[in-house]
Amino acid sequence: MTADLFDAVPDARPSREAMAEGALLLRGFAKSFESEMIPALREIVGQAPFRRMFTSGGHQMSVAMTNCGSVGWVTDGSGYRYDGIDPNSGRPWPAMPAVLYQLAVQAAIAGGFDGFVPDACLINRYEPGARMSLHQDKDEQDFAAPIVSVSLGLPAIFLFGGPKRADKPRRYRLEHGDVVVWGGPSRLFFHGVAPLADGEHALMGRQRINLTFRKAR
């Protein structure tokens, strides 16, 4: 990552786009947080480096990830879970920086969800070709809280389906700074990311960084 600021070009697209009941796409919402957010992310990764985890079935994920917050999401042979300890270091995950917490809370409010108190931030790094298969976020204890997902770097195709895996997902092109908030009736909708196309982003380089804020406990 580089600390150089990205000079945003005015975007003619709608700033708010309804995706489903309880799901909203906020175009460019995170850009105003950049100057503090990028150095904060660099510090987190310095303490808890990215790693490609293995699923419970023994498959290595194409997406590299790390966490910040009081708990982090981990996967291994025993399954998927939240844990307060980074298994690589044996130490607690880095604390969630105030700028990330405020971004998540403000985005949740903009999406219609007041009172969001995230305790986990999953940080995923997509390099060209990496993808995320359709899945539900269901390892959390509190489904009343929304999911807040922030996109940085290269554009990606976000797949947002329905309550059943067989539901055909709609495709949304997510650009740097876009935020997706979903909860309520769409909280357990299947979603994923298509294989990332190659490219070079002026600020983030040859990668996409995705921050997913959740109330895990």
Domains observed in the chain: 16-214 (2.60.120.590)
* Helix (H), strand (E) counts: the chain: 2, 13
pLDDT for 1 beyond 50:
no
Half-sphere exposure of 49 (CA within 13 A, CB side): 4
Query: Using 50, 70 and 90 to split pLDDT, how confident is the model at 56?
Result: confident
Q: Find the Cα–Cα–Cα–Cα dihedral 139, 140, 145, 149, rounded to 10°.
A: -50
Q: Which of 42, 53, 67, 65 is nearest to 204 (CA)?
A: 42
Q: Are 64 and 85 in contact (CB under 8 A)?
A: no
Residues 145 and 138 sit within 8 Å (Cβ to Cβ): no
Q: What pLDDT is stored for residue 10 in this prediction? A: 41
Check pLDDT > 60 for residue 14: no
- Residue 13 has a pLDDT of 47
| Mean pLDDT confidence for 142-151 | 96
**115 in Cβ contact with 190 (< 8 Å):** no
In the sheet with 170-174, reading across from the earlier edge strand, the strands are: 132-135, 191-193, 156-160, 170-174
pLDDT tens digits for range 94-139: 999 999 999 999 999 999 999 999 999 999 999 999 999 999 999 9
Whether the per-residue pLDDT at 17 is higher than 80: the answer is yes
**Three-state secondary-structure class, residue 203:** coil
∠ CA 128-39-146, rounded to 5°: 70
Number of other CB atoms surrounding residue 207 within 10 Å: 20
Q: What is the mean pLDDT of residues 183-202?
A: 98
Please tell me the pTM assigned to this model: 0.92
The pLDDT value given to residue 60: 93
pLDDT tens-digit profile of 75-106? 987 889 999 999 999 999 999 999 999 999 99
